[in-house]
Structure 1
Amino acid sequence: MANMDVSLKEMMAIDGAIGAAVVDYSSGMALGTLGGSKDLDLQIAGAGNTEVVKAKLRTMESLGIQDTIEDILISLSGQYHLIRPISGRGGKGLFLYLALDRARANLAMARHSLRAIEDKLDI
């Protein structure tokens, strides 16, 4: 079991990582952040991506989809943004958020690493 600080450090160790956060999507508040830059305010990104998660959950409910979101990928010209809702051990209502430099990241490996980090995270 890893705590939030350890998990954020592991997220930032993923190749190409530029910012990481654990976000409560009921409030939009980032519970913890690491990295970021003047061009990537993780508090604002967490709040904005909360709306993405809520919209997808509402759409799934409207369509009657009885499934869970593994992750949401937003591809920008220079970055990948991964959103991974936490499914276990008291993490309901939280998601992992990872911004990656597209030129340095391996998307498949980043998704794999994020899944492993989620599995070890104890909130």
Structure 2
Amino acid sequence: MQKIHTNNAPKAVGAYSQGIKVENFLFVSGQIPIDPKTGEFVSNNIKEQTLQSLKNIEAIVKEAGGTIENIVKVGVFLDDINDFADMNRVYEEFFGSHKPARAAVEVAKLPKDAKIEIEAIAYIK
């Protein structure tokens, strides 16, 4: 088991790691839309929050030696399911023709009142 850490994603501020690699699988902790350079949310806009959360995941996957093409499963947590269409447009553009398995659900509340949190699993040889 290997802990994955990069300065290109927000620091883990609790009892968790940005990512854990076990053999060829990388489990990326849920990422909220914090800009790692400022430590603040990028905005209050769901599209910008979605993109930043995905960029944070991408940075962790890259640190483990992979690319977004290695991502096999994504979990999306929205504080308002009515934001699904806007989130999905950004998500689709980000992943392009690569289409990992995905679940997207509405939750009651997210850390720091984020609009979105995204987690991922990647397969990296």
TM-score band w.r.t. shorter chain? 0.3 to 0.5
